[in-house]
Structure 1
C-alpha cells in the first residue's frame, strides 16, 4: 500500500496485507469497541486473521472494510442491528 507522499510506503495499521482492527475502525468510521463487538457476535468476522485469545490480532481485508462500511451506512440510516444481521447471515 502506498501513500500519495512521493510514493512513500504506508504501513501504519496494515497487518500482513490486511488492516489492523484499529485502522479498520478508523477507515470505516466506527469505534474499535463497535468493531470488536461485531466480530465477537459474528456480524462481520475478519477474513484474514481472527483473534485467537488475549494478545492476538485480527486482520481485515479490503472486502471486509466494504462490508463494514455497508453495515455502518445501514445503521446510520436507521436500520436496526437485528435486521442488518439478517442481511449478512
Structure 2
C-alpha cells in the first residue's frame, strides 16, 4: 500500500519563496513591498518583526511585474496605478482569473471577458481583443487551398 502525502497544502509563502517563485531578487521584492507596489496578503498582521506571507495571487502579480520589469516598464508607473487603486479602498481583482494584464508603462488595466478596467480610475469599458494569430493562420490556410484548387 502506498503512503499518501498528508502534508497540509501551502497557502502562503515566505518572502524568500515568493522571490524565487516570481523570478525577482530579494532586493526588488523588498522594494516592491516597501513602496506598496505588491502588498503581501498572506497574513493580516503587518509591521516590524512580522514575517510577510505571500499568497498564490500575490506571487502571480509579482511574476507579472518581473516580466514587465525585464521588458523595461517603469516600477514608478506601475506603483502609481496600483497605489491609486488601493486608495479607492478597492481590492485588487483576482489576477488569477483575468485573461489579460495590460499596461502602457504607467496605467494598468485588467481584462476579463469583454470588460477592461483601468486600475487608476476604476473606469470600466467594454472592449474587444482579437488574437490575430489564429486569424492569420486561417487566412493563410485558406489561401493555400485557393492556390491549389484555383477556387475561392
Deviation per residue, 1:62-86 (Å, 9 max, x gap): 0001111111111111111112223
Paired residues, number: 79
In the alignment, the residues of structure 1 paired with residue 4 and residue 72 of structure 2 have an alpha-carbon distance, to the nearest angstrom, of 40
| Whole-angstrom distance in 1 between the partners of 2:59 and 2:23 | 10
Q: Secondary structure of the equivalent of 1:30?
A: coil
List runs of 5+ in structure 1 lacking aligned partners.
1-5
Partner of 1:22: 16
> Which blocks of at least 5 consecutive residues in structure 2 are unaligned?
84-152
TM-score by length of 1: 0.74
Q: CA 1:8 to 1:52, structure 2 compared with 1: closer, same or farther past 3 Å? A: same
Between the aligned partners of 2:52 and 2:73, the Cα distance in structure 1 is 27
Whole-Å Cα distance in 2 between the matches of residues 20 and 36 of structure 1? 12
Higher relative contact order (CA 8 A, sep 6+): 1
The structure number with the bigger radius of gyration is 2
How big is the shift at 1:51?
4.0
TM-score normalized with structure 2 length: 0.46
CA RMSD of aligned residues (A): 2.2
- The structure 1 segments of at least 4 consecutive aligned residues displaced by more than 6 Å after TM superposition are none
